Amino acid sequence: MRYMNRHRFSRIGEHNEDPLSGVANLFDASIVFIVAMMLALFSAWNMMDLLDPNSEVTIAKKSADGHVEVLTKKGSEIKVSKVSDKPLSGSGKRLGTAYQLPDGKVVYVPE
């Protein structure tokens, strides 16, 4: 009987592992999953130019409450401009004319 009790305790003592050691592996797996989802979304929306350091990209974004923002990326610099609906006044010169086509596209014709 003594032999069995001693043998049983030695088995328990051999497996002294930290029960939270698997949490670090779950964190690493979640980071890999998040990066993979970001790359999948960029490729699905044809936005891989955002990752290219030499590209120039302009995106117009309209929120649910009607505010419009223009995101411009030139190289590694990203600039966000908010568009207002307030009328502007001042002096300047006419640069050209913009036409809206029947399908909704806007064409700019410089003078």
Helix (H, G, I), strand (E, B) or coil at 73: strand
Instruction: Say how many C-beta atoms besides its own lie within 10 A of residue 70's C-beta.
Output: 13
């117009």: which residue's tokens? 60
């305790």: which residue's tokens? 9
Q: Output the tens digit of pLDDT for each of the chain's 111 residues.
A: 555 555 555 455 455 677 777 777 888 999 999 999 998 988 887 777 777 888 888 889 988 888 899 999 998 888 999 888 788 788 888 888 989 999 988 888 888
Task: Name the β-bridge partners of 109.
Answer: 97
Q: What is the pLDDT of residue 70?
A: 92
CB-CB contact of 54 with 74 (8 Å): no
- Pairing state between β 106-110 and 77-83: unpaired
- 69: Cβ–Cβ under 8 A, 6 or more apart, which residues? 60, 61, 62, 63, 80, 81, 82, 83
Q: What is the pLDDT of residue 72?
A: 92
